[in-house]
Structure formats: structure tokens, C-alpha cells
Amino acid sequence: MKRVLLTLSLVLMLLTACEANDQTVDSQVIMNSFPEIIEPHNPEQAEQSGDVVVFLEGMRNRDKWNTFVKNVKNKQQDQVTC
């Protein structure tokens, strides 16, 4: 009996986790809103252009990242380049 209840509980959890989300976002719109990178550039150039750059010793342009995280927590649409 315990095995049946455990199996039923597991199936219900999986079905609940796989439930469709009503808040769909058009990923094509988000992908097109980032500027196209014309030529590869090094991390220093990325930092100068305002991108968020993560090094082993830390993060550059952290203020832009913090603003992004704050906006996401407030459910405001935002974007960041890394």
C-alpha cells in the first residue's frame, strides 16, 4: 500500500512540475533585442562597452548586473549582456 501511495505521489509531482506555464515569452523578440556582435573582442573591450564581464577574480560592471537582478525580482523586463 505504501508503495502504491509513493508511486502515485511521485507521478502527481512529475505531472505538476511539467504543467504548461501561461506566461510564455517570445524568445525571438528577446534574442533580437541584443546588439549583434560584429567582431569578437576581448574582456577589456567588453567591459569598456558596458558588458557584464566575469573573471576568476571577480565581476566587472557589477552595477549593471545588480540593476538587472533588481528588475527581475520586481518582475520588470530587462536584459543584460555577458
**pLDDT score recorded for residue 32:** 57
Residue 9: phi, psi to the nearest 5? Answer: -65, -45
Residue type, 72: V
Q: Return the beta strands (E) in the chain as ranges.
A: 53-55, 58-60
The pTM of the full predicted model, rounded to 2 decimals, is: 0.49
Tens of pLDDT along the chain (82 residues) come to 878 777 877 777 766 665 555 555 555 455 556 666 667 778 888 888 888 888 888 888 899 889 999 999 999 988 876 5
